[in-house]
Amino acid sequence: MFHTARIKLTFWYVLIIMIISALFSVGVYRGLTYELKRSLKTQSFRYIPAPGTAGISIPISVLPEEVEQQIFNEVRHRIVFQLGLLNLGIMCLSAIAAYFLAGKTLKPIETMLDDQKRFVADASHELRTPLTSMKTEIEVALRGKTLPLKNAKELLQSNLEEVDKMQTLSNYLLALSKYEDDRASLPFEMLELSQIIEKAVSNVVIVAKDKEIEIKTELAPIRIEANKVSLVELFTILLDNALKYSHNKGQVVIRTKKSGKHVQIEIEDFGIGIKAGDIPYIFNRFYRADTSRSKKTIDGYGLGLSIAKSIVDMHRGKISVESIPNKGSVFAIILPQ
Ligand code: ADP
C-alpha cells in the first residue's frame, strides 16, 4: 500500500516540476527565437553610403531570404533539442529526488499506522483474555444439571474480577486517547503543586496501607500552570507503580523542587527496580518489563507509563527514570512553570 502511495506521490511531484519546467522552457524558447530573428535581421543588412548623399548610409540586404530562413530553422532546432535534453535531465533528477522525498513524507504516516495496528492488536489481545476466561467459566457452570448457590456466587465473583480488569483496561485506553488527541482542548490553570500531589497520594493510600508502605512527601511551595485532572492522574500512576513494585513495609518518597524556570518532581521507591535493558521500552504501550518476574505476580497492562508520558508531553515536560535492580527506582519529571 505504501509503495503504491509512494509511486503516486512521486508521479505528482514530477508532474508539477515538469509543468513548471515546460512553461519555463516555452518562455525561453520564445525569447531565444525572437532574439535570433532580430539578430539575423540585423546581420543580413549592411549599411552602405547612399549615392549622392554626403555621409548618409542606407541598409541593403546581403543575405538571401532562404539562407536566412535556413539558419533560423537550424538554430531553432538546436534550441529545441537542447531544451528537450534539459527537460529530460530535469525529469530524471526530479524523479529520483521526488521518490526519495515521497518516502520521507510517508515514513511518519507509515510508522503511525504500524503503531496503531500494533496497539489495536495488543488491546484486543488484552480484552480477549478476560472474556475467554469468563466464557469458559460460564460454559462449565451451565454444563451441570444444577448450579448450587455457593458455586453460582463463586462464578459471579470470578466474573466480576474479570469485568473489573476490563474496566481498568478500557479506562486506560480512554485516558490514552484523551491525552494524545485532545491536548489542545484541556483547560490549563495555575495550581498549587503540593495540593495535586496530596490528591494523588490520597488515591493510593489504600494500596499503601495494604502493603504497609510509608509514603513520605517533601514538597516545596510551587505554583504551576497545568491541567489539574491529568496531573493528578500522572502522579497517581507513578505512585501506584512505586507501591506496586515495592516490597511490603517499604517506603516511597515524593519530592518537589524548583530549578530555574522549571519544576522537578521525583518519585522514589526501594522496590524491585528495572533492568537497564528494559528502561528504553517501559514508556511504550503494553510493554511490561521482565514478564517472568513481574507479569505473573503483579497485575497490570503496561499502559500506565505510556499515559504518564503522554501527560508529561502535553505539559511540554520530560520524564526519565533511573533504576537499580533490587534497589529501587527514581522517576523524575521536569515541567515548565
Ligand atoms: P504496568 O505497571 O501496568 O505493567 P506501566 O506502563 O505502568 O505498566 O509500567 C511498565 C513496566 O515498567 C512495568 O511492567 C514494570 O516492569 C516497570 N515499572 C514501572 N514502574 C516501576 C517501578 N516503580 N519499579 C519497578 N518497575 C517499574
Sheet holding 318-324, edge to edge: 214-218, 251-259, 262-269, 328-336, 318-324
Percent of residues, the chain, with pLDDT higher than 70 = 92
pLDDT tier, 178 (very low <50, low <70, confident <90, very high otherwise): confident
CB-based burial label for 97 (10 Å; 0-12, 13-18, 19+): middle
- Whether residue 313 contacts residue 186, with contact meaning beta carbons closer than 8 Å, is answered with no
- Per-residue pLDDT at 182: 56
The residue-averaged pLDDT of 126-141 equals 91
User: What whole-number distance in Å separates Cα of residue 33 and Cα of residue 17?
Assistant: 24
Residues 257, 334: contact at Cβ < 8 Å?
no
**126 Cβ below 6 A of ligand 1:** no
pLDDT in tens, 195-237: 999 999 999 999 999 999 999 999 999 999 999 999 999 999 9
Q: Are 302 and 287 in contact (CB under 8 A)?
A: yes
Can you give the pLDDT at residue 167?
92
Residue 234 CB–ligand 1 contact under 6 Å: no
With a 6 Å cutoff on the Cβ, whether 317 touches ligand 1 is no
pLDDT band with cut points at 50, 70 and 90 for residue 39: confident
Q: Residue 61 has what pLDDT?
A: 67
The DSSP output letter for 290 is -
- 224 pocket-lining for ligand 1 (C-beta < 6 Å): no
CB 264 within 8 A of CB 256: yes
Q: In this predicted structure, which of 61-70, 163-172, 275-284 has the lowest mean pLDDT?
A: 61-70
Pocket test for ligand 1, best of 241, 268, 327 (most atoms within 8 A of CB): 241
Q: How far apart are CA 178 and CA 164, in angstroms?
A: 21
Our CA angle for 113, 116, 122, nearest 5°, is 145
Give the pLDDT of residue 45: 67
Nearest-atom number in ligand 1 for the CA of 242 is 23
Q: Which residue puts its alpha carbon closest to atom 17 of ligand 1?
A: 289
- The pLDDT value given to residue 53: 67
Mean pLDDT computed over every residue of the chain: 89
Residue 285 has pLDDT above 80, yes or no: yes
At 283 the three-state DSSP class reads coil
Q: What pLDDT does 36 receive?
A: 87
302 lines ligand 1 (CB under 6 A): yes
Q: What are the backbone angles phi and psi of residue 56, rounded to the nearest 5°?
A: -95, 125
Q: Is the pLDDT of residue 292 over 50?
A: no
* Residue 299: per-residue pLDDT: 82
Look at residue 117 and tell me whether its pLDDT is greater than 50: yes
C-beta of 305 in contact with ligand 1 (< 6 A): yes
C-alpha grid cell for residue 36?
535570433
